[in-house]
């Protein structure tokens, strides 16, 4: 087996691992979003803010925190495998300089950024984490508004 074949196989393995972490992040996010929507729906279904629902608000906060954490962890693992794949790609280009792998990649990335300047600037992992953190915000907001309504209803 030639060096280029080994490097290509290792590159392919790392990109497969990176893609797997994205797939696992998407699956986990779907479960988190579903669970969060269920709990939020239950929590906000009535205008009545009873103390019995505080547990749901706390649960919503934990769901959001866990969702943000698991999304961040899968993003970190994806970046790990992409960094290793990048090293194999650079080694391949050193071995095969006529391939111009980096120049071709950079040209494609430049074209893409020119066509989508605003969207290219937005980091997708920030968006995934923002959705999970909205559940945290909703839970905290609910607890805060429930506390304010209890304080307002208290005799003076």
Tens digits of pLDDT across the chain (156 residues): 899 999 999 999 999 999 999 999 999 999 999 999 999 998 888 656 666 788 899 999 999 999 999 999 999 999 999 999 999 999 999 999 999 999 999 999 999 999 999 999 999 899 989 999 999 999 999 988 876 665 555 555
For residue 51, which of 142, 134, 138 has the smallest C-alpha distance? Answer: 142
Q: ∠ CA 103-104-105 to the nearest 5 degrees?
A: 90
What are the extents of the domains in the chain?
3-151
List the structure tokens of 65: 């925190």
* pLDDT at site 43: 84
Rounded CA separation 126/72 (Å): 9
* pLDDT at site 16: 98
* pLDDT at site 35: 96
DSSP string, 120-145: HHS-HHHHHHHHHHHHHHHHHHHHHH
* pLDDT at site 107: 96
């Amino acid at each position: 087996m030639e060096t280029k074949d080994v490097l290509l196989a290792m590159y392919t393995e790392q990109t497969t691992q990176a893609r797997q972490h994205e797939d696992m992040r998407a699956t986990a996010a779907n479960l988190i979003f579903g669970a969060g929507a269920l709990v939020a729906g239950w929590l906000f279904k009535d205008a009545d803010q009873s103390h019995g629902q505080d547990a749901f608000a706390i649960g919503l906060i934990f769901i959001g925190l866990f969702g943000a954490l698991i999304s961040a962890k899968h993003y970190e693992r994806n970046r790990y495998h992409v960094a290793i794949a990048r090293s194999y790609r650079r080694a391949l280009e050193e071995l095969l300089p006529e391939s111009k792998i980096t120049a071709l990649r950079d040209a494609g990335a430049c074209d893409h950024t020119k066509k989508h300047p605003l969207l290219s600037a937005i980091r997708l992992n920030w968006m995934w984490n923002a959705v999970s953190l909205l559940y945290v915000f909703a839970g905290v907001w609910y607890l805060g508004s429930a506390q304010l309504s209890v304080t307002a209803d208290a005799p003076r």
